[in-house]
Amino acid sequence: MNLPVYNLNIKSHDLKELKRDVWIDDPVPAKLLIQKDKLDIDIAYRGAHIREFIKKSYHISFYDPPFYQGAREIHLNAEYKDPSLIRNKLSLDFFSDIGCLSPRAKHIFLQLNGKAQGVYLELESVDKQFLVNRNLPLGAIFYAVNGDGNFSLISGIDKNTKTALTSGYEKKCGSNKTEQYLEELIVTINTLSRADFKKEILKILEVEKYLRWLAGVVLTQNYDGFVHNYGLYRNGATGQFELIPWDYDATWGRDVHGRLLDHDFVPIRGFNTLTARILDVDSFRSRYQQILAELLDSYFTREYLDPKVERLMNNLRPYILKDPYKKEAVEQFDIEPNVIAQFIEKRRSFIKNQMYKLD
């Protein structure tokens, strides 16, 4: 399958301004040509530590027209530290398969002012349009942006008491009062007795979907996924929160730096305050155990995942040879399917051997 080619054109003075300081979020104007579609856009760098990589990642907002293929904005991720360039997409597709809300992702080939920039992963933005495209009730969306997104009263960054209950979150959309709902969630998690928690949490959290999200994080082994790397959607019709995965390149046996990560690094119970409280309830813990067992027999298997990995890698390989930042590492790219396969086998065995901890 041919990758879509995105031709990005930025005037020299605007490109100079973009490059002046990678930490500035102010966008510059640009034009994007996708096949015969000519789009006026605003573009800025995106991400945290990834801004310092030589291969940049971008946030694009559509200006004229204001929507393109159902999106107001998209993210172009370089996936620079993932030698396979597929872990993020493989993860997000996996979450969708197991019943979680998950952004769509597809690989594209980017050119900037006529020069090849290489293979990128286009990520759907988790915003109001994300909900509209799925016919979901409108509501609030928060991004967990740092280690304070741990559902606790204690900071995951400096271990001190948080100065605000909503610390660690940025609101993407929602009314002015939506922060109040997030505060109520944090208070419920941290102050109620076990008996009251079991009853009250069902009113404000989609527990079944939380357990499926938890299983996805644990199986793919995203260490950072418990305290950030997720979106938090509050359904305006039900009043319940639901988690949405985000930035899952550090998975399937590698960490955020692209280094090999032991298959047993993340425990079966995961971590963060909400997970601890959820798994403290016998019926919730039993259901989580059941979900894991089901996934070990279905979606988290070599039989299910190997063809997906093979298809993605085969599609990308011709374009890796044209990627100025990756073509010298094609030998590493070629062995990544085996790295992922070995992780799946070892992780499956580890989780099976740890299931007794959920009895």
Dump pLDDT digits (tens) for 159-194.
999 999 999 999 999 988 899 999 999 999 999 999
Q: In the prediction, which pLDDT does 48 show?
A: 86
- C-alpha dist (Å) from residue 145 to 165, 171, 284, 295: 14, 10, 27, 29
CB 239 within 8 A of CB 201: no
Q: Tens digits of per-residue pLDDT, 311-342?
A: 999 999 999 999 999 999 999 999 999 999 99
The mean pLDDT of 125-134, rounded to a whole number, is 97
Helix (H, G, I), strand (E, B) or coil at 245: strand
Q: How confident is the model at residue 30 (pLDDT cuts 50, 70, 90)?
A: very high
Contacts of 18 (CB under 8 A, 6+ apart): 10, 28, 43, 44, 45
pLDDT at 62: 98
**93-108: pLDDT as tens digits:** 999 999 999 999 999 9
d(CA 188, CA 185): 5
* pLDDT tens readout for residues 186-212: 999 999 999 999 999 999 999 999 999
How many residues in total does the chain contain?
359
Average confidence score pLDDT of the chain: 97
pTM as predicted: 0.97
C-alpha to C-alpha distance for 19 and 10, rounded to whole angstroms: 12
pLDDT surpasses 90 at 49? no
